[in-house]
Every structure is written in C-alpha cells, then in structure tokens.
Structure 1
Amino acid sequence: MTLLQDSARTRRRRLGVASAAAGLLAALLAAGPASATPDPGDGNKAPKSVSRTVEKQAEAAIAAGDIPGQDEVVHSANIEHLTNIPKDALPGTNSDLAFQGKYAFAGNYDGFRIFDISDPKAPKTVAQVLCPGSQNDITVSGNLLFLSTDSSRSDNSCASTTQPATEKSSWEGMKVFDISDKRNPKYVAAVETACGSHTHTLVPEKKNVYVYVSSYSPSATFPDCQPPHDGISVIKVPRDAPEKAAVVGFPVLFPGEGPDGGGNPGGPTNPGVSKTTGCHDITVLPSKDLAAGACMGDGILFSIKDPEHPKVIDQVQDNVNFAFWHSATFNQKANKVVFTDELGGGGAATCNAAVGPDRGADGIYDIVGKGDQRKLVFKSYFKIPRHQADTENCVAHNGSLIPVKGKDIMVQAWYQGGVSVWDFTDSAQPKEIGYFERGPLSTDAIRTGGSWSAYYYNGYIYSNDIAKGFDVLKLSDRRTDPAQRVRMDELNVQTQPDYFA
C-alpha cells in the first residue's frame, strides 16, 4: 500500500504518444455508443487485446511511476483502505450495492451476497445466493430485496439458463426476495417486464413499494421487447403480500410520432450519441416528489407526486459530449443534478488525453425555476484528474452524496479509475478532494474491472469492485467529517434520502 500526496501520480497524467491516443479515440467514436452493458450475457466480459504500442506505453508508465503497478493500491492522504473481501462463491461481475442496518447487499451477475458490516474493518459474509441474470441490480426495503434481471432467461427461476430473447417463452424482469432472515433469503415473487430490467428504483410507501424499472434496446424480433420502448415499467409490490406484485403501468416519458417515440434520435442525426429507446437509470428524491432520469440520449427531470403516473418537467440533451446518459444524483437541496456519461459502455479506456476531460464525465446541471416550470441548466463537467493506462476501462459510474450540510460532495466509482471524492458546491468549479485506485489489471489487454459502485454509508465508503471484490474505505477530512454524525437505517442510493429532515 502506497500513500501519495504531492507526487506525480496525483497530477494529471500524460500517457502515450499522440498518434496512439488519436487512434484510440477514433476507434471509440467510429464504433458508436455502446450499451451500458456491452456484453448482455451472464459471464465476465472477455479481455480486449491491445496493440504492442499500447502495451509498451502502459509498461513504461508504470516504470516511470506515472501510474500504479499492476494491482498496486494507491490513495490520497485522507483515505484509508481498511479491507478487501475477495469474491467467493459468486464468480461473476460484481455490480450494485444497497444497505440496511448493519448489512450491505452486493449484487453480482451470478446472484447476490450479504455482508455483516458491524465491524467495517472485518465484514463477514452472512449469505450468498446463486441466482444468475445480469446485471442483478439490487435494492432493499424492509423485509424485501429486489433484483433486476436483464438477460434473456429460460424461466424466472434461479436455476434458469440463457435463452434467446427472440423466443416468446424467454423471461426477463424483477425478482423479489424475503430477507427477514438474512442468513436464508427466500425467493417470493417474479414480475416480467418489457425489455427486462437493466436497473430499478424504489419509491417506498408504508403499505406498498413502487418499483420503477429501466430497460432499453427493443427489437421487432423480440416478442417481449417491442419498439417503441419510450417509457418505464411501474411495479406495485404490497409489503404484506409481495407475491401479488404486478406491473400497474407503463408511463411514456418520450411521446412522439413514429416507431422510436420522441427521445434523442441518436446517429446519424446526432453522431456518437445513443438513440433513446428507454431509460438506463432513475434516481428519485421522495421528500421533494422529484426524479431524475438518465435515459440513453436524454436527461430528464420529472415529478413523482403520483408515483404511478410520473410527469416529465424538463428534458435535456448534450449532443457534443454525452454519448450515453447513465445515472443521476441530486444534491441535498434538490437544486442540482449530476448526470454521468458512460462513454464506451464501461468497457473502454476513456480516462486519457485522447478522450479529454469533457467526455465520459459527469455533467453538473442546476435546477432553476419553480414547480412544473423548473429547468435543467448545464454548468460544467467533472472528470477524475488522473489519466489511466489505455488498458484500463475507466468512465464515470455509480456514486452517492456524502451528507455534509451546506456542501455538495459525493463519492463516485470510475471502474479502473478507482473511487473519487469530489466537491461540486460551486457548480461551475468542481474539484476532487480524495481518491483510491488500483493499478491496471493488465498491460496487454483491457480486462474489465474496477469499482462498479462506491457509496457512503454511516461513516464509511463501500465499493463493489467488478473483479477484486468488496472494499471498505475510511475518509478522514475536515470537509467531510460532519457526515460521520449522520446515520441511516437503510440506503438505496437511487432512492435518495433527505439526510437533514
């Protein structure tokens, strides 16, 4: 473990020769925007070979100390790496995280794992549930756990196998588990949804839990995923009878004429931008009856006063720098939204000089106006200030607020770019204030890895690393120390709490 403060590694890295960097960018753009999960299967993504030139560049950067060595852990002085728990019985890709009391719930393409985090320095595995179905986006509410399935399966059981989406009998959607006994979760319900469930977001109420299901990429050849797919599925789950869970609506968020609805048309009209055929992820702020949707080629702000009938307030596009609107985070006052751009679908090296600071980044938007007249106004981009090797998949990904009253600070995953803590209190001048990362998994190929989700919960940062497992970090900084006094009983990051209500 190496502690860095003012060394060359903390400054912006200039890796590679201009010709190689330009070639990488050209290839990325020519390929067009990838989906958020380039490989829709259940297994780990296959390594992508790189040229000998790129391999030599990565090796030279390590030798020069410009980037960490393979698997070497480095971090800023205000972050301590407490522990890492490697993957165990679930070898697939690690995905999202949720929290409840003393437990952390970690999604994996092969199922999910429950950790007892009573002692954050020594988490203990409570249960591992085998239930394949990418990407197993995960949330919890009370005694219920929800799991997204976004790969075509032979049936809705946890023993299902891969089956083509062109077959009518194939299944994708939401699974519901009873977790009243954390050591023995019980599968209690399944709800099929159009185009599956890539991600989902909870809108919890006392008697029911509403689930907003985000999915995309319809095809005329898919019986259960027909175009236009311009909305989201809304599932209603009775807490006392989860087996009665059912779809209660499909609100159209992008009305329009023609087979593709009214979202961003993508290329060739907007080259290098995803066509909007649904949403990738939604974050709700129930205390303000607001939601923000990251919807492929569009970012939207909408009202959820009536959770079964959400209403779009504003819709924005960035056809210059945003390829794939991936996720959204409100600040505490609900007068800003941070949207992420998952350029390259999470499988490409975009944290380099060739791609630059404005693509594969965060976009910070102020919310101005009142009520249904509110508008999203772009202010700036944020991207980690450390170039990565061209063998490291790196792009903006999942993060959460760090609850500091009067400040806008969040922690965020960047795949092999690691974990970044950054301040966007000044929307136009965001800045990084801490980081944690590992060196490249490989210098001879792009091997998918790094932090999928990095979230702050009850005084610690928890990161689910695709390849390396479950990391726990301790952040000690006068700017964020007040957050240690904030305690939550439950946290699903895409259902943002009002920390200071």
Structure 2
Amino acid sequence: MKRPILTAVLAAVLCAAACSSPPPENHETLGNPTSRATGIPGPDEIRHSDNMKVIANVPLDAPFNGPEAWGTDLAFQGGYAFVGNYEGFTVADISDPAHPKAVARVECPGGQNDISVSGDLLFLSIDEPRTDNTCASSPGDPMSETEWEGIRIFDISEKSDPHYLAAVKTECGSHTHAIVPGTTSDTLYLYVSSPGPTPGSKSCPPPHENISIVEVPVDSPARAKVIAKPELFKDRKLDQSDAYAAAGCHDITVYPEKKLAAGACFGDGVLMDISDPVKPKVLQMVTDKENFSIWHSATFNDAGTKVVFSDELGGGIAPTCDGSGSPTKGADAVYEITADRKLVRHGFFKIPRVQSSKENCVAHNGSLVPVPGRDIMVQAWYMGGVSVWDFTDSDHPKEIAYFERGPLKPGLQLGGSWSAYYYNGYIYSSDITKGLDVLRVDDPLTDPAKSVRMKELNVQSQHSYGGA
C-alpha cells in the first residue's frame, strides 16, 4: 500500500465485489485453529485461535503518534527488530520476546519506509517526492524533476543511535527493495521496485517498464549508486485498459541460492533468473485478470519449487474480506515451478473469518515459518489480523492459527497488521496503529520451526533454512 498519493489510481482497480472465502472444510484435528468466539469482534477486541496468542506489544510513541504515523514493514538482526513507519523507523530490543522495548526512534519521513538491514547498514525505501534527500526534508512536488525520492542509508552499528549516511535517487522513487548479495562480500545490490508512471511527471514518465539496481559498497556506502535499469517488460504487449499495464513492480523477492527472483508487478507475476544479479532475465510472465487485481508480493517455499503470489485488491484500504465477493481476489495463489522453470497455478488461500465492512482487509506481507519438510506461511491481513497457513498441498491450503482485533475505534480509518513475520521462535506483527505485536504459536505443525535460528531476516531476500 502507498499513502493516499495512489488513491486515485487504486480507485480504478477497486472491485465492487469485496472478497472472502467460505470456511475451509474438513479441517484435520492437527493444526485446526479452533476458537470459542463467534461473530465479528467488538472494537479493538482481541480474538485468536487456541494455539496462538499475543504475549507482548511495543506501542507507537512520540514522534510516531501522529494521525498518519503508521507502522509498516519489518527487518531483523540478532536480538533486534527494525520497524518501518511513515515518519521514520523504530529499533526494538527483542532479545527477551516477552518484554520487548524500543531503544531508538528515528524521525525521517518519506512514504512507507520499506526497511531492510545488512551488517551495519539499514536501508529505507522512499516513495514520496521530497524537497531533498535528508530526514529534514518536506513533501515535494511530484511534477518537478528536481524533487528527490529513492533509497536512504543509515549506520546501525550502534542500535540505540542510528546515523544517516547517504541516499541514492532512483527513477520513480522506491516503493520496496530487496537485498541481493554481490559476488564478493564487499558489495550488495538493491533491487528497487517502484510504481508509476505519473501522468505529467518529469521524473517518472511513462511507460516505466524497468526496475533500478543500486550497487552498495559495504565499506563505503556513500558511494552507492544506480548501476542498471533493466527493462523487464520491453517485449510485453500492453493492455491500455489495465491501470497497471506499465507500472514497474510493486515487490521483488530474491532467492540467491536458487538464482531466482519472483516479481509481483502490479499487472503480472514474473519469474526471473538472477544468475548475474546485475542482469536479471525474465523467464516467464503470468497474467490472471480473473483472480488478480494488484500483484503485490511473492514468497518462495524453502525448496524453491513454489511461489505464493498475493493479490492486494483495493490497495489495502478496502474491506475486501466482508463476505460479499470472490474467494480468490484479495487472496494468495500458490504457483508451482516446473523443472523447466515455468509457473503453474494451483490453489488459493483466503482467511476464512468474515470481517466487517469497516475493516480494511486483504492479503499483505508474510514470511515462511521454517518447518523442515512443510510449506507454511505466516501472513498479515491488515484488519483481518495474522494468519498461519499450510500450503504443503498446493491445491488445498489450509489455516493453522490466527490472531485478530476487532474494528478500529471511531475516528480511525486504516489499521491492522501490515507485516507479520516468523523470527527465531516468535511471530512479530507490525500493526499500523497499535505498534509491534509479539505472538506465539504452539502447534505440532509449527513447533519444529522453534529450533531454527537466524542471524538476520529480510523477508524479500530469502535464504534456505540451512543457510539462515
């Protein structure tokens, strides 16, 4: 989702049929997310399955307590979680998951501030024109070619005192990004995804069929620069009636060990070969207008034989889980990757709990739960809460556990879980208005994941469980 700068475009793809699926049938006893409560929860009322509960919360606090200081994405390193916010980012000490605490809040406005970390460096995606590249900048003019948007880089060697280091301007800004390791340890690449074009814009003119690749010298991050802008869609035949026909990518997930990347590119799903990280090659593009509105994100299974693509019907601002529409739009689709590296669609998953018409709800950011031998995800659904689901059977995915809150209190319009990721035995959910939730799931299907330990987690840069 993007701040209301995209509202007009999103309105073009909002579907009159808000979407939900009927409750899954034939739940097995193992992993059945039973709950004694029925009906839609009251405002801010907490509901959860018997096998999942919230154990802690780090609330939003100054300077992130304004009306649009919304919590966004997450990254992890050691005993710390890094929580993006439209107004900057928070560093939270999670070394004791039951008693997390904020150790730094860095004010640095710039859109949703999609976030990642690597070593002593932190990267933020800025997808909102600013008067300059600093944290002291003001909102800029999207029609001016002198305004700035792109990637900001911070030094996080001291977690309680991050320092701004440098910035890189990228075409059409940076909505999201993924870290790709270089051929040597002294270089990182960032695959920068951004929406566009903007009619009349000098800095983001149509058709914007490329991504930007930023090279970051690890020891000299101030020298970071754009080194390539591969045109992923140059051979595509555009459908001019599609609002996102030439809008770049929303999100690219890389799996360097498998030399693969999957792009959720608004109108298409894209599978890429990244054997040469500076020259990604498109292997296949898939389009599904019947079941997809906005291709939003992608997640490989650990074996690299499947990709889950999510559809962000309504752009994150609509109540698409109120039971009035399709069980596939606004949901997840499971694609298997064949031996010749082609995508074949299988089943769909959407949360089975009907939400109210006052709750923005759609599939959003999630990650694998590292259970060897199974394909399990945890995923955010905005006001639909957090869902843990199993797609080991590609044709019949099912929910294992869930957590949600009821509708927002009067006066608030946007809320719920933006991102929900599994890290070192716990689920961390960045709630737009409530802050950082720490959740614990206890179930025979997910318990093996508790023994997997990771040093870092940037969900758009996947690694095998063994290489965590």
Q: TM-score, normalised by structure 1?
A: 0.84
Are the counterparts in 1 of residues 58 and 102 from structure 2 also a CA contact under 8 Å? no
State the alpha-carbon separation in 2 of the partners of residues 463 and 263 from structure 1.
39
User: Structure 1 residues 263 and 354, CA, compared in 2 at 3 Å: closer, same or farther?
Assistant: farther
Aligned-residue offset at 1:220:
4.8
1:298 aligned residue = 268
1:265 aligned residue = 239
State the alpha-carbon separation in 2 of the partners of residues 263 and 128 from structure 1.
46
1:448 aligned residue = 414
- Of 420, 423, 426 in structure 2, the residue corresponding to residue 457 of structure 1 is 423
Aligned-residue offset at 1:352:
2.0
Residues 109-137 of structure 1 deviation map (CA, whole Å, 9 limit, x = unaligned): 00000001011011111111000001100
2:2 aligned residue = 37
1:119 aligned residue = 96
Aligned-residue offset at 1:276:
3.4
1:491 aligned residue = 457
Residue aligned with 2:5, SS: coil
Aligned-residue offset at 1:167:
1.4
- Over 2 Å off, 4+ runs: 262-267, 273-276
Percent identity between the aligned chains?
57
State the alpha-carbon separation in 2 of the partners of residues 277 and 40 from structure 1.
15
State the alpha-carbon separation in 2 of the partners of residues 296 and 464 from structure 1.
23
State the alpha-carbon separation in 2 of the partners of residues 120 and 420 from structure 1.
20
User: In the alignment, does 2:369 pair up with 1:402?
Assistant: yes
State the alpha-carbon separation in 2 of the partners of residues 231 and 292 from structure 1.
15
Residues 140-170 of structure 1 deviation map (CA, whole Å, 9 limit, x = unaligned): 0011000010001010010000111111221
State the alpha-carbon separation in 2 of the partners of residues 188 and 38 from structure 1.
25
Residue aligned with 2:429, SS: strand
Residues 162-196 of structure 1 deviation map (CA, whole Å, 9 limit, x = unaligned): 11111122100000001111111111110000000
User: In the alignment, does 2:251 pair up with 1:281?
Assistant: yes
- Of 109, 113, 119 in structure 1, the residue corresponding to residue 86 of structure 2 is 109
Q: Output the amino acid matched with 1:179.
A: I
Q: Output the amino acid matched with 2:214.
A: I
Residues 340-385 of structure 1 deviation map (CA, whole Å, 9 limit, x = unaligned): 0000000000002212311100011010123xxx110010111000
Which consecutive unaligned segments of at least 5 residues does structure 2 have? Answer: 7-36
User: Structure 1 residues 266 and 390, CA, compared in 2 at 3 Å: closer, same or farther?
Assistant: farther
State the alpha-carbon separation in 1 of the partners of residues 440 and 157 from structure 2.
29
1:237 aligned residue = 216
Are the counterparts in 2 of residues 274 and 323 from structure 1 also a CA contact under 8 Å? no
Are the counterparts in 2 of residues 393 and 446 from structure 1 also a CA contact under 8 Å? no
Residue aligned with 1:287, SS: helix
Residue aligned with 1:482, SS: helix
User: In the alignment, does 2:61 pair up with 1:88?
Assistant: yes
State the alpha-carbon separation in 1 of the partners of residues 459 and 324 from structure 2.
32
User: Structure 1 residues 276 and 355, CA, compared in 2 at 3 Å: closer, same or farther?
Assistant: farther
2:11 aligned residue = none
Q: Identify which range, 320-329 or 211-220, moves more after superposition.
A: 211-220
Residues 286-329 of structure 1 deviation map (CA, whole Å, 9 limit, x = unaligned): 11111000000000000111111100111101111100000000
- Of 421, 438, 447 in structure 2, the residue corresponding to residue 472 of structure 1 is 438
User: In the alignment, does 2:163 pair up with 1:186?
Assistant: yes
Aligned-residue offset at 1:446:
7.2
RMSD: 1.6
Q: Identify which range, 411-420 or 71-80, moves more after superposition.
A: 71-80
- Of 168, 172, 179 in structure 2, the residue corresponding to residue 202 of structure 1 is 179
Aligned-residue offset at 1:281:
0.3
User: In the alignment, does 2:198 pair up with 1:216?
Assistant: no
2:337 aligned residue = 367
Are the counterparts in 2 of residues 335 and 368 from structure 1 also a CA contact under 8 Å? yes
2:9 aligned residue = none
User: In the alignment, does 2:284 pair up with 1:314?
Assistant: yes
- Of 345, 363, 378 in structure 2, the residue corresponding to residue 378 of structure 1 is 345
User: Structure 1 residues 295 and 288, CA, compared in 2 at 3 Å: closer, same or farther?
Assistant: same
Residues 193-231 of structure 1 deviation map (CA, whole Å, 9 limit, x = unaligned): 000000011002311110000002113521211112001
Aligned-residue offset at 1:38:
5.3
1:414 aligned residue = 381
2:15 aligned residue = none
Are the counterparts in 1 of residues 3 and 112 from structure 2 also a CA contact under 8 Å? no
1:97 aligned residue = 74
Q: TM-score, normalised by structure 2?
A: 0.90
State the alpha-carbon separation in 2 of the partners of residues 106 and 482 from structure 1.
26
Aligned-residue offset at 1:263:
6.2
Are the counterparts in 2 of residues 141 and 204 from structure 1 also a CA contact under 8 Å? no
Residue aligned with 2:464, SS: coil
1:9 aligned residue = none
Are the counterparts in 1 of residues 2 and 111 from structure 2 also a CA contact under 8 Å? no
State the alpha-carbon separation in 1 of the partners of residues 237 and 377 from structure 2.
29
State the alpha-carbon separation in 2 of the partners of residues 37 and 167 from structure 1.
20
User: In the alignment, does 2:320 pair up with 1:341?
Assistant: no
1:228 aligned residue = 207
Are the counterparts in 2 of residues 265 and 276 from structure 1 also a CA contact under 8 Å? no
User: Structure 1 residues 322 and 477, CA, compared in 2 at 3 Å: closer, same or farther?
Assistant: same
User: Structure 1 residues 166 and 316, CA, compared in 2 at 3 Å: closer, same or farther?
Assistant: same
State the alpha-carbon separation in 1 of the partners of residues 145 and 106 from structure 2.
27
State the alpha-carbon separation in 2 of the partners of residues 421 and 479 from structure 1.
10
State the alpha-carbon separation in 2 of the partners of residues 238 and 366 from structure 1.
36
Aligned-residue offset at 1:80:
1.8
1:259 aligned residue = none
Which consecutive unaligned segments of at least 5 residues does structure 1 have? Answer: 1-35, 42-63, 257-261
User: Structure 1 residues 386 and 264, CA, compared in 2 at 3 Å: closer, same or farther?
Assistant: farther
- Of 387, 399, 417 in structure 1, the residue corresponding to residue 354 of structure 2 is 387
2:45 aligned residue = 72
Residue aligned with 2:222, SS: helix
Aligned-residue offset at 1:438:
0.1
Q: Output the amino acid matched with 1:190.
A: A
- Of 82, 105, 110 in structure 2, the residue corresponding to residue 128 of structure 1 is 105
State the alpha-carbon separation in 1 of the partners of residues 451 and 101 from structure 2.
24
State the alpha-carbon separation in 1 of the partners of residues 168 and 315 from structure 2.
27
Are the counterparts in 1 of residues 252 and 264 from structure 2 also a CA contact under 8 Å? yes
Are the counterparts in 1 of residues 197 and 246 from structure 2 also a CA contact under 8 Å? no
State the alpha-carbon separation in 1 of the partners of residues 103 and 227 from structure 2.
34
State the alpha-carbon separation in 2 of the partners of residues 249 and 266 from structure 1.
27
State the alpha-carbon separation in 2 of the partners of residues 391 and 176 from structure 1.
37
